[in-house]
Chains A and B, each alone.
Chain A
């Protein structure tokens, strides 16, 4: 079963606006990752946040992690048309090994 659940499933915004996507998970984790996938392509690793971190930045990306609520958010500021893609969160459960579980993803559409 899926560990992560993204919210919303789809998001349409104007270029320049901010986009916020949320992810919830079920079990304790070592870390949480966000990926981007352009249509028909592989996934690109965006950012990883560890379970002892609360916030992380990378360029226009800001990720927060609330382990008490088992949730994370990805904020893309000043969005661009090129940000149009699907965004997935993934978790490495704190059960040992590498098994990573992906959420269903948020499809972001940025209108120029």
Chain B
């Protein structure tokens, strides 16, 4: 079945620095990937849709200059949180559509803590 690898699983960074999170589809090609953010005990909120070879589509209220998405290949999408601040501390998860079967395969998530 579809396997999605997300890295790192957790990261602590200083305020003002940038953090890159990777999402890889290991056994299939993904033209589309999704990035979500989840605050404690809350649901997943879609941040953006990552499209291979083109610009990402951001949801309303998500700053595209702060959350840079690059989908340069069919197996890798990256999310870079630029100039991170404590309010960016959250759980970030990527997902990939399961194609014709429906549903999505999720990465294991990245816990970002900005201090």
CB distance from A92 to the nearest CB of B (A): 7
Of the candidates B44, B46, B108, the one whose C-beta lies within 8 Å of that of A99 is: B46
CB neighbours (8 Å) of A43 from chain B are 44, 93, 95, 104, 106
Would you list which residues of chain A between 16 and 41 have a CB under 8 Å from chain B? 30-31, 33, 35, 40-41
**Quick one: CB contact mask for A52-78 with B, threshold 8 Å, 1 for yes?**
000000000000000000000000000
Are B43 and A98 touching (Cβ within 8 A)? no
Determine whether the beta carbon of A101 is less than 8 Å from that of B46.
yes
**What are the residues of chain B within 8 A of A42 when measuring CB–CB?**
6, 93, 106-109
Report yes or no: A102 in contact with B43, Cβ–Cβ below 8 A: yes
A40 B32 Cβ-Cβ under 8 A: no
Q: How many A-B residue pairs have CB under 8 A?
A: 57
Does A88 touch B at the CB level, under 8 Å?
yes
Q: Taking the nearest CB of chain A, how far is it from the CB of B6, in angstroms?
A: 7
Say yes or no for B91: interface residue by CB 8 A criterion.
yes
Interface size class of B (residues with CB under 8 A): 20 to 34
Q: Which residues on A sit within 8 Å (CB–CB) of B93?
A: 42-43
Query: Closest residue of chain A to B45, judged by CB?
Result: A102
Task: Say yes or no: B102 contacts A92, CB within 8 Å.
Answer: yes
In the complex, which residues 46-104 of chain B have their Cβ closer than 8 Å to any Cβ of chain A? 46, 49, 91, 93, 95, 97-98, 101-104
Q: Are A100 and B43 in contact (CB-based, < 8 A)?
A: no
4 cross-chain pairs, A with B, having the tightest CB-CB distances, nearest first: A42-B106, A42-B108, A43-B106, A48-B103
Chain A interface (Cβ < 8 Å from any Cβ of B): 2, 30-31, 33, 35, 40-45, 48, 50, 88, 90, 92, 98-105, 107
Interface residues of chain B, those whose CB is within 8 Å of chain A, are 6, 32, 34, 41-46, 49, 91, 93, 95, 97-98, 101-109, 111
